C-alpha cells in the first residue's frame, strides 16, 4: 500500500482519482497509466506540470494530449493482450507506451523524425521493446504490417482515412478524432464488421490536424 505522506505516491493517487472522475474506469487502462510516468515524456519548463490534466507543448509544434483524453481513447480502443496496434502520431510517445502495457505489439508512426528519435529513447529507458517507432506519413498507415486489430489516430482528419480503414482487421476497432476544423471535432470509434463499418461518437475533442507528408525538422 502506498504511503500517503510520500508526495510522489500522493500525486499519483490524485492523478488516478482524476482519471476516474473523467470516466476512465477500465482497470487495465488505469493500471497502464499508473505504470507509465507522463513526466518522462514532457521536457523543459513544462515537466513539473506533467500530472495536470491538460495538453502540453512538445517539440516540432506538437502537443502531448491531456491524460483524461489519452485514457478515454485507450478505453474506447478496448485493447486485448494479443492485439497488434497501429498508432498514427507518435508525438511524445506517451500514448504508445501505455498501449505497450496492454497489447502484444505496437507500431507507431510520426512525420517528425526528431519526435520519433526522442520517443525511442524513452521507450528504451522504460524497457518497452514491443514498440516499433517509424518516421513516415501515418495517413497511409503501415500496409506491410496490416491488418491491425486496433488503430488509434492522435490527429484530426475530416474523415477516417481510407488506407487506415482498409488496414483494420475484421472485428477490429479504430479510435480517432474527425472534424472539418480545429474547433469542431468529435472523437469516434469505428468497428469493422464482416459487411462494413459501424461508427460511434464518443465526445467532442480538439486535436492538431492530420497532415500528409514528412515534417521539416
* Residues forming the active site: 65
HEC per residue, 121-184: HHHHHHCCCCEEEEECCHHHCCHHHCCEEEEEECCEECCCCHHHHHCEEEEEEEEEEEECCCCC
Instruction: Read off φ and ψ for residue 166, nearest 5 degrees.
Output: -65, -25
**Which of 81, 98, 65, 92 has the alpha carbon at shortest distance from 176?**
65
Cα–Cα distance, 66 to 144 (Å, whole number):
31
Contact 83, 104 (CB under 8 A): yes
- What b/e readout covers 88-99, taking b as 16+ CB neighbours within 10 angstroms? bbbbbbbbbbbb
User: Which helix (H) or strand (E) is 13 found in, with range?
Assistant: helix 7-21
Q: Side-chain half-sphere of 14: how many Cα atoms within 13 Å?
A: 12
Amino acid at each position: 500500500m502506498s504511503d500517503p505522506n510520500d508526495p510522489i505516491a500522493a500525486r499519483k493517487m490524485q492523478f488516478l482519482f482524476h482519471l476516474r472522475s473523467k470516466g476512465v474506469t477500465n482497470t487495465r487502462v488505469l493500471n497502464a497509466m499508473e505504470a507509465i510516468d507522463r513526466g518522462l515524456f514532457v521536457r523543459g519548463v513544462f515537466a513539473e506540470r506533467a500530472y495536470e490534466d491538460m495538453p502540453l507543448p512538445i517539440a516540432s509544434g506538437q502537443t502531448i494530449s491531456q491524460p483524461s483524453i489519452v485514457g478515454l481513447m485507450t478505453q474506447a480502443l478496448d485493447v486485448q493482450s494479443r492485439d497488434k496496434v497501429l498508432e498514427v502520431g507518435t508525438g511524445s510517445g506517451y500514448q504508445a507506451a501505455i498501449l505497450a502495457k496492454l497489447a502484444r505489439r505496437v507500431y507507431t508512426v510520426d512525420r517528425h523524425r526528431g519526435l520519433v528519435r526522442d520517443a525511442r529513447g524513452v521507450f528504451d529507458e522504460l524497457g518497452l521493446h514491443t514498440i516499433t517507432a517509424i518516421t513516415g506519413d501515418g495517413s497511409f498507415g503501415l500496409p506491410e504490417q496490416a491488418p491491425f486489430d486496433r488503430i488509434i489516430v492522435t490527429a484530426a482528419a475530416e474523415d477516417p482515412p481510407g488506407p487506415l480503414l482498409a488496414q483494420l482487421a475484421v472485428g477490429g476497432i479504430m479510435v480517432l478524432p474527425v472534424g472539418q476544423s480545429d474547433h469542431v471535432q468529435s472523437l469516434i470509434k469505428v468497428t469493422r464488421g464482416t459487411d462494413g463499418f459501424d461508427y460511434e461518437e464518443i465526445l467532442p475533442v480538439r486535436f492538431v490536424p492530420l497532415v500528409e507528408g514528412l515534417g521539416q525538422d
